């Protein structure tokens, strides 16, 4: 599997061979869905919280005697059927939404999604990406240059967002893309299924090191 490598100006600078174990896997929707849902659950922080009948303020005395009043029997004004009473089966902030994800499943789902994106022509390989100083204009020039490539002509549109991976933290690059709401910059080691699904295009810098890093996940 061979693909092209481009520079910041959108010009072809060479080619690179891609491992089939990373970019040539068949699509497995069930696996990707399971991992994605589990990851979203692990990130979820429960905020909504209701009080049950044991937590609301109010007297625990019986409202009226059991028999002889002609009214329905009640044991407490804090019952869920009373106004101001507790909530039955409401959301609780102590609920745990996290799920265990096996390491092999997580890696397989990542490579399966990478393979799907590569097959759909949504992965761009850049030989390098760097700025001398944080400049939004230079970041915009890079995106406009990449949009001149036939396969990636839609990358400069607002809805066609991109995730840019770096080998290490680069403040100049990160700050340069900060003003673009549809672009995100992150390190390759932190790349996951949710990032790939949220953004249409994936920009991989320093391809040789990136592929080596991805292949190391298989071991």
167, 150: one domain: yes
Question: What's the pTM?
Answer: 0.83
121, 72: one domain: no
Q: Indicate the residue among 95, 125, 160 that finishes a domain.
A: 95
What is the C-alpha separation between 186 and 184, in angstroms, rounded? 7
Q: What is residue 159's predicted lDDT score, i.e. its pLDDT?
A: 73
171, 120: one domain: yes
What is the residue-level pLDDT of the chain in tens, covering all 219 positions? 889 999 988 888 899 999 999 999 999 999 999 999 999 999 999 999 999 999 999 888 999 999 999 999 999 999 999 999 999 999 999 999 999 999 999 999 999 999 999 999 999 999 999 899 999 999 999 999 988 888 888 887 777 689 999 998 999 999 999 988 889 999 999 999 999 999 999 999 999 999 999 999 887
180, 147: one domain: yes
Q: 22 — phi, psi (to 5°)?
A: -115, -40
211, 133: one domain: yes
Q: Which domain holds residue 82?
A: 47-95
Q: What is residue 92's predicted lDDT score, i.e. its pLDDT?
A: 94
The answer to whether the beta carbons of residues 193 and 36 sit under 8 Å apart is yes
89, 138: one domain: no
Q: Looking up tokens 């240059």, which residue turns up?
A: 145
87, 177: one domain: no
26, 90: one domain: no
Q: What is residue 76's predicted lDDT score, i.e. its pLDDT?
A: 93
């Amino acid at each position: 599997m061979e693909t092209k490598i481009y520079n910041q100006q959108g010009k072809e600078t060479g080619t690179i061979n891609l491992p089939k174990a990373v970019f040539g896997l068949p699509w497995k929707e069930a696996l990707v869905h399971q991992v994605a849902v589990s990851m979203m659950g692990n990130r979820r922080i429960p905020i909504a919280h209701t009080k049950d009948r044991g937590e609301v303020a109010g007297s625990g005395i019986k409202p009226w005697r059991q028999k002889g009043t002609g009214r329905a029997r009640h044991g407490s004004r804090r019952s869920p059927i009373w106004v101001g009473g507790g909530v039955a089966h409401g959301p609780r902030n102590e609920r745990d939404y996290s799920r265990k994800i096996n390491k092999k499943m997580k890696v397989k789902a990542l490579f399966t999604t990478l393979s799907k994106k590569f097959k759909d022509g949504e992965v761009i390989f850049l030989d390098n990406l760097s700025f001398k100083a944080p400049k939004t204009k230079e970041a915009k020039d890079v995106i406009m240059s990449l949009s001149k490539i036939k396969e990636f002509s839609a990358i400069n549109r607002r809805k066609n967002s991109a995730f840019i991976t770096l080998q290490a933290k680069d403040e100049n690059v990160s700050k340069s893309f900060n003003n673009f709401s549809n672009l995100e910059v992150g390190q390759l080691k932190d790349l996951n299924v949710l990032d790939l699904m949220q953004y249409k295009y994936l920009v991989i810098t320093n391809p040789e090191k990136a592929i080596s890093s991805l292949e190391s996940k298989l071991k």
